[in-house]
């Protein structure tokens, strides 16, 4: 009898729970879920598009929203909906962002193809296009040397990295969509039973989200803010202790002038478009192949008043509450991919006078975090120095980048007898890789010819890789000066002078450019050839007297040299040593 009563009570309880779950499932107009019986979010999520009242919890976190018991409710639930392993079921649902998830999976931030390709090149290996996602299921014992290096030292810096794994700064990286679009507020209780503040989801990606990954290698996230990662001495000391200006991983930094765009209150997303960051759905071997935006897109913009461009720009502006209601007459588009730049508008805004009549159309760039408009000057004609003969192949960065991080003592060492955390396997495995750096400098960027045939700044890095078995030390890969082209994000006015480049060719620098040790260039890049060095060196003796770009001598430099040679011009008074160096470059 007692057993029968217990059984009947259980059936009544089960029927009640089932009825409640069915009621919750049927009330689609008001998605009340069982989740809120334990978890009540007080706020967060950041936008109406992701409001829990509208969407519920299971739209993103899956699970069983109609259950009240934890075990049943959590069945099939995902903690991080942005993880690329599940994003097709969450962020990529048909009614959400179905096109974005496949594109992101092919982007260089997900595949890490640039990192893996650079490591392959160092070992003289050509695997073709790389995808880090394929390495997760690969046994550590079958990896190549570059793949081992990647697993031990690099794998946390791409989007397949599971958020929360690892230690230190690694735990904040990765996470697929969440890596960029989750904006957490310090000090808020998160994912606790009872009331909590949910993290915000936003397309207004703050600078910190980018810098948590982009603070090593090219260090663009540091340089942009005016931070130079210095040698690890911790100097200058303060009150008998090491310098308080520290970075993650026990590194130190010194202050330098920040990028002009940073000083204007701009963050990464003010320049870099979603198409560029998330990819257009194509797999690229190098970051440069995925780039969408260029300097001229803002400084010499092309505006479009086409219906499609305006409609896409209006849609994007509607998603960003900081950018004003879209009433532009035209919107700028990128020169590479014709992507509408919704925050760069050709607008008619009220005047400041008593009549408040509209002014002439203005090019306004609205900052994406706070909506503050920045007025852009649009010169009618190219600036005179931008049309200087002989300088047509210079990139913008060649003249406007003032600093370049350089490391002349990058040493990588592998001890096969040691053990180290393997980020892909999530365990300690055999083989310990160690990196060390010395003679780090922050100097004027040297120039070489990049893959597009233009003169661009590069950073030399003197790489040596050693294998250290028990018997002794033998080289594992040849020591070489590895060359990397990148925009250092150090645009600081004024631009470099003529002397900065041409006088740098005097003496040892000119010899170094021709030295075979400098030939470890990336795909398509190369050093200056003899003709290019000769042309640059010919100008050098003239600079003590003719230091400005608008000097009449440079209007037609070949004609000026000819007049001097036949005695039709004032005799040259340049030091003979400078002339001999110029001839040496020939």
Q: 255 CB contacts (<8 Å, ≥6 apart)?
A: 226, 227, 228, 245
Give dist(CA 368, CA 572) in Å, integer. 54
HSE on the CB side for 186, CA within 13 Å?
1
Of the candidates 450, 467, 377, the residue with the CA atom closest to the CA atom of residue 416: 467
The residues, any chain, with a CB within 8 Å of residue 410's CB and separated by 6 or more, are 435, 436, 437, 461, 462, 463, 464, 482
Q: Please give the DSSP secondary-structure letter assigned to residue 160.
A: T
CA dist list (Å): 249 to 92, 170, 368, 435 = 35, 10, 31, 12
pLDDT value, residue 85: 93
* CA nearest to 463, candidates 512, 513, 409: 409
Nearest residue to 39 via CA among 21, 26, 16, 57: 57
Among the listed residues 570, 576, 577, 511, the one whose alpha carbon sits nearest the alpha carbon of residue 546: 570
DSSP calls for 501-532: HHGGGSTHHHHHHT-GGG-B--TT-B---HHH
**Closest CA relative to residue 221, chosen from 272, 161, 289:** 272
Q: Which of 164, 157, 167 is nearest to 211 (CA)?
A: 157
What is the pLDDT, as a whole number, of residue 47? 73
HSE-up of residue 227 (Cα within 13 Å, Cβ side): 18
3-state SS, residue 447: strand
302: phi then psi, degrees, rounded to nearest 5: -110, 120
How far apart (Å, rounded) are the C-alpha atoms in residues 95 and 34? 23
CB of 229 closer than 8 Å to CB of 256: no
Blockwise average pLDDT, block size 10, the chain, 586 residues? 56 50 43 74 70 82 90 92 94 93 93 88 79 83 87 88 80 86 66 63 92 89 92 79 82 91 97 91 85 93 91 90 80 93 81 48 92 85 78 93 82 86 90 83 85 88 64 54 86 88 60 52 80 87 86 87 78 55 46
pLDDT of residue 192: 47
Which long-range contacts link 217-222 to residues 24+ away (Cβ below 8 Å)?
A: 218/405, 218/459, 218/484, 218/486, 218/488, 219/405, 220/486, 220/487, 220/488, 220/489, 221/489, 222/247, 222/253
Q: Which residues face 466 on adjacent strands? A: 413, 475
Kindly write down the DSSP assignment for every residue of 207-224, as one continuous string.
HHHHHTTTTSTT-HHHHH
The span from the CA of 79 to the CA of 57, in Å, is: 11
Q: Which residues contact 557 (CB under 8 A, 6 or more apart)?
A: 389, 390, 538, 539
Other C-beta atoms closer than 10 Å to the C-beta of 400 total 19
The pLDDT, as a whole number, for residue 409 is 72
pLDDT at 9: 56
Report the distance separating Cα 84 and Cα 178, nearest Å.
9
pLDDT value of position 30: 44
pLDDT recorded at residue 92: 95
Q: Can you give the pLDDT at residue 285? A: 84
The count of residues in the chain is 586
The continuous run of DSSP H or E covering 10 comes out as: helix 2-26
Q: Report domain extents, the chain.
A: 271-376, 498-516+523-586
What would the two tokens of residue 564 be? 């001097």
Neighbours of 435 (CB within 10 A): 12
pLDDT given for residue 25 in this prediction: 43
CA–CA separation, 365 vs 323, rounded Å? 10
Answer whether the bond into residue 494 is a cis peptide, omega within 30°.
Answer: yes
Which residue, among 484, 463, 487, 342, has the nearest Cα to 413 in the 3D structure?
463
Q: Give the helix/strand (H/E) hosting 549.
A: none
């Amino acid at each position: 009898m007692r057993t029968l009563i217990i059984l009947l009570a259980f059936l009544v309880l089960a029927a009640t729970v089932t009825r409640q779950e069915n009621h919750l499932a049927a009330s689609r107009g008001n998605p009340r879920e069982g989740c809120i019986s334990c978890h009540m979010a007080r706020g967060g999520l950041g936008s109406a598009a992701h409001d829990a009242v509208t969407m519920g919890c299971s739209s993103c976190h899956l699970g069983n929203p109609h259950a009240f018991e934890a075990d049943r409710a959590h069945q099939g639930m995902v903690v991080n909906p942005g993880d690329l392993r599940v994003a097709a079921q969450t962020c990529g649902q048909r009614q959400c962002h179905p096109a974005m998830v496949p594109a992101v999976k092919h982007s260089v931030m997900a595949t890490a193809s640039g990192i893996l390709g650079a490591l392959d090149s160092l070992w003289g290996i050509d695997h073709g296009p790389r995808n880090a996602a394929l390495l997760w299921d690969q046994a550590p014992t079958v990896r190549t040397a570059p793949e081992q290096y990647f697993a031990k030292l690099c794998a946390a810096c791409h989007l397949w990295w599971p958020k929360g794994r690892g230690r230190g700064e690694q735990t904040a990286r990765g996470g697929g969509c969440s890596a960029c679009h989750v904006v957490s507020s310090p000090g808020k209780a998160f994912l606790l039973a009872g009331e909590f503040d949910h993290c915000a989801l936003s397309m207004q990606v703050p600078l910190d989200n980018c810098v948590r990954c982009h603070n090593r290698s090219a260090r663009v996230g540091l340089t942009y803010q005016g931070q130079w990662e210095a040698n690890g001495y911790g100097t200058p000391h303060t009150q008998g202790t090491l310098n308080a200006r520290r970075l993650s991983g026990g590194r130190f930094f010194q202050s330098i002038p920040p990028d002009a765009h940073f000083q204007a209150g701009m963050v990464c997303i003010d320049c870099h478009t979603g198409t560029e960051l998330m990819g257009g759905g194509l797999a690229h071997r190098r970051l440069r192949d995925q780039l969408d935006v260029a300097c001229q897109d803002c400084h010499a913009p092309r505006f479009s008043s086409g219906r499609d461009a305006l409609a896409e720009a209006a849609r994007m502006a509607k998603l960003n509450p900081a950018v004003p209601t879209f009433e532009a007459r035209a919107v700028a588009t990128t020169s590479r991919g014709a992507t509408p730049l919704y925050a760069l508008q050709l607008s008619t805004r009220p005047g400041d006078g008593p009549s408040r009549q509209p002014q002439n159309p203005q090019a306004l760039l609205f900052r994406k975090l706070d909506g503050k408009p920045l007025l852009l000057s649009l010169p009618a004609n190219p600036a005179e120095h931008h049309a200087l003969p002989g300088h047509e192949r210079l990139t913008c960065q060649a003249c406007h980048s003032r600093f370049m991080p350089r490391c002349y003592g990058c040493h990588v060492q592998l001890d096969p007898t040691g053990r180290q955390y393997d980020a892909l396997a999530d365990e300690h495995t055999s083989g310990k890789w160690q990196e060390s750096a010395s003679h780090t400098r922050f100097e004027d960027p040297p120039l070489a010819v990049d893959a597009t045939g233009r003169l661009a700044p590069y950073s030399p890095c003197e790489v040596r890789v050693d294998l250290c078995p028990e018997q002794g030390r033998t080289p594992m890969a040849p020591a070489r000066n590895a060359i990397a082209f990148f925009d250092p994000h150090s645009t600081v006015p004024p631009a470099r002078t003529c002397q900065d480049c041409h006088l740098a060719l005097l003496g040892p620098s000119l010899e170094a450019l021709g030295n075979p040790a400098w030939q470890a260039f990336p795909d398509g890049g190369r050093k200056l050839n003899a003709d290019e060095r000769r042309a640059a060196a010919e100008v050098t003796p003239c600079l003590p007297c003719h230091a400005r770009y608008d000097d009449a001598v440079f209007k037609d430099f070949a004609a000026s040299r000819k007049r001097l040679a036949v005695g039709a011009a004032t005799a040259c008074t340049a030091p003979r040593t400078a002339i001999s160096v110029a001839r040496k470059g020939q």
